Amino acid sequence: MGNCCRTRRNGDNHYRYVQPHASEVVTAGGAKEPYRSDSKKLTQNLPSPNPRNGDEMILSPHLKVFAFSELINATKYFSPDYLLGEGAFGYVYEGWLNKETLSPVEPESGMPVAIKKLKRLGFQGHMEWLSDVSYLGGLHHRNLVNLIGFCYEGENRLLVSEFMPGGSLEHHLFRRGGEPFSWALRLKVAVEVAQGLAFLHASQSKIIYCDFKSSNVLLDMDYNVKLSVFGLAKADPSGDWSHVTSQITGTEGYTAPEYFAAGRLTTKCDVYSFGIVLLELITGRRAIDYKRVAEEKRLLEWVRTQLRDTKKVFKIMDSRLEGKYSRKAASVVANLALQCCYPEATYRPHMSDVLSILEKIPSPRAFRNKDMSNSKSKINAHSSNGQSNGHDHQHESAADMVHH
């Protein structure tokens, strides 16, 4: 379930980002709790994310069952003023709940949540919703958006999740006029995204994100990353689940070639998509941009042509960084991204290996307490003004470059 940092002004969506400052030196993967400790929670026998029939539901005791009337009140009758976005299966609204009782409250007076209202699209849409409730409600990780509850009343199917006020990575990377992410912040985002995907892949049945892209990477007010996974989880055919949907649900520019061509879905498809997002992070370019000249429309193809000499990584770096990045670290990230995007899935690294490499890259510290407080206060002030939320095999491996 995606949402963005939306601000309301005369019915228009408005955005603002406050750039933190870089200082001190720490590792990009300086999180106190590595993803491996969280992955142990997935060794239990979890229900399938693809229930065998439309009536099967396995509920998590941590989820609240909402009445439809409660969600009507939380969104002011699903007012367009609270609309955050629209996906293939439904609309996402901002709503407000009491933090303790989870009952609806007046806007700005409680806890903001994201409410996904399923379109009436028949069995397929219902199965997506059922998958979210019966399976993803039991997943808990600091880099996954938390599901709070659901509504199953008549023909109404809704999901309630935590609200991510920082918006999507896609928005921050590609909007016009905003202050760009620093190199340190880009590394932080890359590490935390890798942690979320590695956690999913480390499950007993290997959960596959399937349609990973920068718009599904969400940020909180501290610029911490959480992945929006609702409705996207699939099972690796090598896992315990025998059923994997044959419908191609990927997005052009992000989808692994073997999945796009033959519907072959494995965790390596996520690795490919992650590689594309990693290239977006360092170049500031979209995976596909039809506004560019022909040879630059497809990001991966353009990067491959530019990095025939891996020492010339500066040729692909986002000019908005103004050269404020480590040339060696940028080379590692660029080559790692290309390794993730090998045409043959066999040659791609596992997400656990990708995470290990990223965590070893030295990075300027993205945040100090003072800087973070300033960023928060500016965002809060803004909201309170009535405005809301395969390259060639000859390349040196990224792992080798880290150790050189």
Indicate which CATH number applies to the domain containing 246.
1.10.510.10
Picking from 132, 162, 192, the residue at the C-terminal end of a domain is 162
Q: Do 268 and 346 belong to one domain?
A: yes
Q: Lowest-confidence range among 147-161, 253-267, 314-328, 367-381?
A: 367-381
The angle, 0 to 180 degrees and rounded to 10, between the axes of the packed helices 351-359 and 183-201 is 150
Highest mean pLDDT among 94-103, 196-205, 226-235: 94-103
Average pLDDT over residues 262-280: 94
Residues 279 and 152 in one domain: no
Contacts of 225 (CB under 8 A, 6+ apart): 143, 169, 188, 189, 192, 193, 196, 217, 218, 219
Q: Are residues 210 and 95 in the same domain?
A: no
Is 261 found in the same domain as 116?
Answer: no
User: Count of domains in the chain?
Assistant: 2
Let me know if 12 is a catalytic residue. Answer: no
Query: Could you tell me which residue, 386 or 265, shows the higher pLDDT?
Result: 265
Q: Are residues 137 and 188 in the same domain?
A: no
> 328 labelled as ligand-binding?
no
Mean pLDDT, rounded, for 182-204: 93
| pLDDT confidence of residue 262 | 87
User: Quick check: is 44 in a domain?
Assistant: no
Over residues 295-314, the mean pLDDT reads 93
147 and 174 in one domain? no
Q: What is the pLDDT of residue 279?
A: 98
**The predicted structure's pLDDT at residue 397:** 56
Q: Decide which of 113, 146, 162 is a domain's last residue.
A: 162
Q: Do 25 and 171 belong to one domain?
A: yes
- Whether the per-residue pLDDT at 2 is higher than 90: the answer is no
pTM confidence score:
0.76
> How would you class 373 by CB atoms within 10 Å of its CB: exposed for 0-12, middle for 13-18, buried for 19 or more?
exposed
Indicate whether 16 belongs to any domain.
Answer: no
Q: Do residues 187 and 329 lie in contact, with contact meaning Cβ atoms separated by under 8 Å?
A: yes
113 occurs within a structural domain: yes
Residues 197 and 247 in one domain: yes
Whether residues 291 and 388 share a domain: the answer is yes
Task: With respect to residue 144, please indicate whether it lies within any of the assigned structural domains.
Answer: yes
Is residue 378 in a domain? no
Range of the domain at 208: 21-38+165-372+383-403
- Whether 12 is in a domain gets the answer no
- Residue 102's domain is classified under what CATH number? 3.30.200.20
Is the per-residue pLDDT at 21 higher than 80?
no
Categorize the per-residue pLDDT at 342 as very low, low, confident or very high, splitting at 50, 70 and 90.
Answer: very high
- More confident: 290 or 242: 290
Section 130-142 average pLDDT: 76
Q: How far apart are the first and last CA of the chain?
A: 41
Same domain for 338 and 219, yes or no, is yes
Question: Best-predicted range by mean pLDDT among 22-26, 164-168, 190-194?
Answer: 190-194
Please check whether residues 355 and 278 belong to one and the same domain: yes
Q: What is the CA radius of gyration of the chain?
A: 21
User: What is the SS3 assignment for 296?
Assistant: helix
Mean pLDDT, the chain, whole residue set: 77
pLDDT at 320 over 90: yes
Catalytic, out of 38, 132, 211, 236 = 211
| Residue where a domain stops, chosen among 162, 197, 215 | 162
* Within a domain: 214: yes
Residues 227 and 205 in one domain: yes
